[in-house]
Amino acid sequence: MSDKLHVEKIKSIASLLSAIAIPTVLALTGYFVQQSIADDGIKKDYLTMAMGMLKDGGDKLDPELKVWAVSVVSKYSPVPFSSEAKEKLGRVLYIEPFIPELPDIAKQKDISDICSGGCSSALTEKYEGWMKKLEGKTGEEGINALAAILDESVRYSADLAGALDSARNSGNACVNTYEIIKGQRD
């Protein structure tokens, strides 16, 4: 019976130790994982800052800062740089690409005065307004109201057609400019 008592004590002690050890091991593992994630985040931030300095600074970057940035990039790179590559990285120049101004013909015409809220809703609003103008009109009064509405709708249609022509021209100009930049056209 003393063996059973002895086994029960060992089981109790083992249960107690496992109840303490498991959460402790989990807490320590979690701590080290979080620490590793935080360190990786800091490394990424420094690497981003160093690369930004090398990219944006070019020749204007202070030589000491350039050496620091190259050292940071070299330190946190998963593939080690050779000494020659480090030296070349410190001499890299970043040249800003030239992006030409958009030609006036490529700019969209502002049609907010013609189509406030969108052309479909503006046209629907115009139509409803014209129908109200015709309500209850008969005879010569109705003909005059209809003639005024027809004049207004023709002017409105001409404005819309002009805006559409401008949009087509600017779209074509954008395509042509893009093709010229890409070297697909002279």
* Digit-coded pLDDT (tens) for 163-178: 777 777 777 777 777 7
pLDDT recorded at residue 10: 83
Tell me: the pLDDT tens digits for 2-40?
Answer: 777 777 888 788 777 777 777 777 777 777 778 878 787
Question: For the whole model, what pTM was predicted?
Answer: 0.37
Tell me: the pLDDT tens digits for 64-86?
Answer: 777 788 888 778 777 777 778 77
Rounded-to-integer distance, Cα 43 and Cα 140, Å: 84
Tell me: the pLDDT tens digits for 130-159?
Answer: 888 888 888 888 888 888 888 888 888 888
Answer left, alpha or beta for residue 69, where phi above 0 means left and psi between -120 and 50 means alpha.
alpha
Rounded-to-integer distance, Cα 58 and Cα 95, Å: 8
Confidence of residue 160 (pLDDT cuts 50, 70, 90): confident
For the ranges 37-46, 93-102, 110-119, the one whose mean pLDDT is highest: 37-46
Q: What is the dihedral of CA 58, 62, 64, 65, to 10 degrees?
A: -60
Q: What is the CB neighbour count within 10 angstroms for residue 61?
A: 18
Longest dimension (CA), the chain: 123
